[in-house]
Amino acid sequence: MFCFSNSLSLSLFPSLHFFFFLHISSPFSISHLSIPLSPSLSISHPLTHLSLPLSPSISPSLILSLISLFPSLHLSLISHPLTHLSLPLSPSLLTSLLLSHPLSLSLSLSLSLPCPSKPQVLERLRRVNFSRNGYQVSFDANGDPVANYELVNWQTRESGKMEFVTVGRYDASLPPDQRFDINREITWVKNSTQVPVSVCSESCPPGTRKAIQKGKPVCCYDCIQCAEGEISNNTDSSDCLICPKEYWPNAERDLCILKPVEFLSFHEVLGIILTACSVGGACLAIATSTVFYHHRMSAIVRANNSELSFLLLFSLALCFLCSLTFIGRPSEWSCMLRHTAFGITFVLCISCVLGKTIVVLMAFRATLPGSNVMKWFGPPQQRLTVVSFTFVQALICTLWLVLSPPFPIKNLTTYKEKIILECDVGSAIGFWAVLGYIGLLSLLCFVLAFLARKLPDNFNEAKFITFSMLIFCAVWITFIPAYVSSPGKFTVAVEIFAIITSSFGLFFLLFVPKCFIILFRPEKNTKKHLMEKTSNDIRY
């Protein structure tokens, strides 16, 4: 862009050469420009003076064309080679002059054009688009040149001379998938085409973290496996992330997965075995009740207080079945039911055994001359004893459930890699009060049975009660440390095992010998045999 501030002169000379003299005031410092315009028109002078020679066949129509292109053109008539007379000329007058005086006229044309502003200059520069030495020069919308680079590789020739070899090109004017092009192989050290690897340590895979080696560059490090409970899911991680509480890393330690939930299930082997033992024990108790009911009029059944025997068998069946509440996914209701059912049924069972023990003692004293003790401990008193002892346990369980009942929890501390679903006892005082009351009744029953162990044979049930209570107490004394130390679902398994073992101990020692006599030794199931046995025991 140029600022036209001077005049455009047009002269006619005798030699019929037509010149334009253009005096330009330009802000640029370009010294020379040669631009071909037409076959007979060229500019070959520094920008301060442009000469345009025309052919001799010039016609006046060219002048008229200039006038039509530049409406603001001011024409002056020069009437003499030495003296200039400036007159305004119209197109018709100029035509007449050219036709009448083609060789002796000189015209001076003055053209005034406005100087462009800087934004206009910048806009014109952005539109520049030309080729120079095979390179296309242009600008984008931001005024930046289009990137065009050569990829040069420094290669060593056989002679040992180093040369820069063009191996590719990057041209931003091309489509994205064609911009970068490598047309020759790049040579590396010792003219090898294999891309070299320059690392101190290999990348640390996911599941590990980088540990910088002391005294070495930062690219030298050791890959340390993430600690337990932590992962890294990126290559070259500098730190490991801690998994949330209910999540645990996988084997590769690159992903946090949900911890498996563990509880004593009916579908696992341990749960199936314990369930079979519980159901089997209950079935044995029911079958024994059937045998006793069928032989309820026999001497051995009547001699051992049949009413308490049936109640004891019923409570034993409940003891076996209450262990099933400990198996399965813990819930709010199952947690409350399992401990209360266990506590009440076992107290009912021990109360029946205690009642039978008291009956044995009272019955022996009733055989002494002048004794009327049985009227003070007849069937009504026996029932009241059982109900009273059981009511106390029911009251303890009720207070426990009202004040601080058991509830299910997720145990996240016993095992780091899995969640244990278990029942929290709520109030530890309530839990140990239930167990303590059962232990107190068992100890009392054991002492009374031990005192009655040498009674005559028809009342020798006290011997079996003594052994059964001994087994019962041994099981539950052993249960306490095992319960405290067993982890996870094995805590529940230990409690179920204690329930089943103590129940089987009572069942086998109190009822299996009687069932054996009833079913396989019926000759001993007579009043005469029992009386003879009693007489022999008293004699000795």
User: Mean pLDDT per 10-residue run, the chain (540 residues)?
Assistant: 38 35 34 33 36 43 52 45 46 54 46 67 74 72 80 83 86 84 79 77 90 86 91 91 92 92 91 94 94 85 79 93 92 91 92 84 60 64 88 94 92 87 90 91 88 62 83 86 82 91 91 87 70 48
pTM over 0.85: no
Q: What single DSSP character describes residue 244?
A: P
Instruction: Give the helix/strand (H/E) hosting 155.
Output: strand 148-156
Strand pairing category for 419-424 and 261-262: parallel
For residue 281, how many C-alpha atoms fall within 13 Å in the half-sphere facing its CB?
A: 29
- Sign of the Cα torsion 117, 118, 123, 129 reads positive
Q: Please classify residue 100 by burial: count the beta carbons closer than 10 Å to its beta carbon, then call 0-12 exposed, 13-18 middle and 19+ buried.
A: exposed
Per DSSP, the residues of 287-355 read: HHHHHHHHTTTSHHHHHT-HHHHHHHHHHHHHHHHHGGGGSSS--HHHHHHHHHHHHHHHHHHHHHHHH
Report how far residue 47's alpha carbon sits from residue 31's, in angstroms, rounded to the nearest whole number: 7
Among 409, 277, 394, which Cα is nearest to 342's?
394
Beta carbons of 349 and 506 less than 8 angstroms apart: yes
Q: What are phi and psi of 372, to 5 degrees?
A: -125, 35
For residue 473, give every residue at least 6 positions away whose Cβ sits within 8 Å of its Cβ, in sequence order, or none: 439, 442, 443, 446
In a 10 Å sphere around its CB, with 0-12 CB exposed, 13-18 middle and 19+ buried, how is residue 190 labelled?
A: exposed
Location of each CATH 1.20.1070.10 domain in the chain: 269-539
Q: What is the largest CA-CA distance in the chain?
A: 184
Query: Whose structure tokens read 């003879």?
Result: 532
Q: Quick check: 325 and 295 in contact, CB under 8 A?
A: no
CA-CA distance, 483 to 475, in Å (whole number)? 12
Cα distance between residue 15 and residue 360, in whole Å: 164
User: Is residue 404 a contact partner of residue 434, using CB atoms and an 8 Å limit?
Assistant: no
Alpha-helical regions (H) of 184-305:
269-294, 299-303
Q: What is the pLDDT of residue 9?
A: 37
Distance of CA 480 to the CA centre of its chain: 39
Residue-level pLDDT at 8: 37
Name the 3-class secondary structure at 208.
strand
Pairing mode, strands 221-225 and 407-411: unpaired
Residue 51 confidence (pLDDT): 38
Residue type, 41: L
Superfamily of domain 269-539: Rhodopsin 7-helix transmembrane proteins (1.20.1070.10)
Beta carbons within 10 angstroms of residue 454's beta carbon: 11
| 478 CB-near residues (< 8 Å, 6+ apart) | 498
pLDDT (0 to 100) of residue 50:
37
40: helix, coil or strand? coil
Residue 347 CA to residue 379 CA, distance in Å, equals 19
Residue type, 358: I
Task: Produce one character per residue of 392-420: b if its CB has 16 or more CB atoms within 10 Å, e if not.
Answer: ebeebbeebbeebbbebeebeeeeeeebb
Structural contact between residues 234 and 247, judged by C-beta atoms closer than 8 angstroms: no
Please give, one letter per residue, the 3-state secondary structure of 434-478. HHHHHHHHHHHHHHHHHHCCCCCHHHCHHHHHHHHHHHHHHHHHH
Contacts of 172 (CB under 8 A, 6+ apart): 146, 147, 148, 179
Indicate the helix (H) or strand (E) that contains 427. none
Query: Residue 136 has what DSSP assignment?
Result: E
